[in-house]
Amino acid sequence: MTTTYKSIALRGVAAGAIAGVASALVQLLVTEIPIRAALAVEEAREPAGDGHGHAHGGEGELVSRGAQVVGGMLGVVVVGIAVGLVFATAYALSKRWFVDRTPFSRSTAFGLAVFGAVALLPWLKYPANPPAVGDPETVNHRTALYLGVVVAGLVIVWGASRLASRLTAQSQPVRVTAVLLAVVAAVAVVLLAFPAPPDTIPADMPVTVLWQFRLSSLAQLATLYVGIGVVFGLLVDPATRRAKADAPVAVG
Amino acid sequence: MTSPAAGLSAVRVPKWAFAVSLLGLIVTYLVLQENGLALGASSELLHEFFHDGRHALGVPCH
């Protein structure tokens, strides 16, 4: 029964692990292709002598290339589990979030909102970059900006749920339109208020590799966050257990 | 059976749940974001091991 916090938290961990594995598979099969291409660009730079002591995969490295691929996938699974746990807690705490819906649609909508706030919004403002892009000198500055956008995104989601619950007296079309307008306006403010990405894209990085990487990264983020919402919804919804016999849970 | 959401909205969240969630956020930070702010030089190994995952999940990297 999903009536104690502990059982909900364990389902969050399971959902995070499953979505994390799916996302790690997307990484292995999709994202690693442009990463390899970007590393080749970086290696082509090495003889030029500008060794800032942070090359990937060359000799004398802390971690070999193979270990980076495995470690990267492992990292995605670990992040999935950690996020799944936080997701489950937020779900258990949310007294306003579509409380009239089924647990499955609540969880899926929650997953989509989290994806929008902590993945899509930062991706729009500070698009994902492959290796060989990015100055090590600015990494802390870029991290602060990135986390700022993540926090702003979460505040927008929280504000949207507050606004929606404030407007329950209105008809549904009025409520939905008002909340959507408010979200679009808030997103526009965040995109305009935060400064442009501090680093420029090096001229030797092919545009095709850059975009293949960015789209792969977005697909992987969607697999992780929307995946957590969908799998967690399947695990907590009593309707899933009743229908289990004729519809085995498929995740991919 | 009553409304499926009814049982869930009644879940009591204990105080230790916040500690568990904080742990989840710290783990996420260490895997994705730590670039020397918290752990100093030893973060390099962590960074390099999770390197591909960081790039793939779109967080700022060097």
Domain ranges, ordered by start, for chain A = 5-47+65-246
- B10 three-class SS: coil
Domain span including residue B53: 16-31+38-57
Domain presence at residue B25: yes
Contact flag A5-B32 (C-beta cutoff 8 Å): no
Which residues does chain B have within 8 Å of residue A124's beta carbon, measured at their own beta carbons?
none
Residue A138 has pLDDT above 80, yes or no: yes
Number of domains in chain B: 1
Is position B43 within any domain?
yes
Among residues A205, A210, A221, the alpha carbon closest in space to that of A27 is found at A221
- Rounded to the nearest angstrom, the minimum Cα separation between A179 and chain B is 23
Residue B8 belongs to a domain: no
Query: pLDDT tens across A34-78, in order?
Result: 999 999 999 998 765 544 445 454 455 788 999 999 999 999 999
Mean pLDDT of chain A: 90
DSSP annotation of B62: -
pLDDT band for position A96 (cuts 50, 70, 90): confident
pLDDT value of position B4: 47
Alpha-carbon distance B31 to nearest alpha carbon in chain A (angstroms): 6
Question: Is residue B2 in a domain?
Answer: no
Instruction: Determine the straight-line distance between the first and last CA of chain A, rounded to whole angstroms.
Output: 25
Within 8 A of B19 by CB-CB distance, chain A residues are none
Report the residue of chain B nearest A79, measured CA to CA. B28
> Residue A174 pLDDT more than 70?
yes
Residue B24 lies in a domain: yes
Residue B61 pLDDT greater than 70, yes or no: yes
> Which residue of A73, A86, A87, A120 to mutate against B (max B Cβ within 10 Å)?
A86
Q: Is the pLDDT of residue B62 over 90?
A: no
Instruction: Give B60 to chain A, closest Cα distance, Å.
Output: 6
Query: For testing the chain B interface, which of A85, A194, A212, A240 should be mutated: the one with the most B CBs within 10 Å?
Result: A85
A22-26, A117-121, B34-38: least confident range: B34-38
Nearest to B21 by CA among A2, A152, A151, A83: A83
pTM for this predicted structure:
0.88
Alpha helices in A94-195 (DSSP H): 103-115, 121-125, 139-166, 172-193
Taking the Cβ of residue A194 and every Cβ of chain B, the question of whether any pair is shorter than 8 Å is answered with no
CB of A15 within 8 Å of any CB in chain B? no
Q: Identify whether B48 is part of a domain.
A: yes
When pLDDT is cut at 50, 70 and 90, the band that residue B33 belongs to is: confident
Q: Is the dihedral of CA A155, B61, B55, A216 positive or negative?
A: positive
Is residue A28 within 8 angstroms of chain B, CB to CB?
A: no
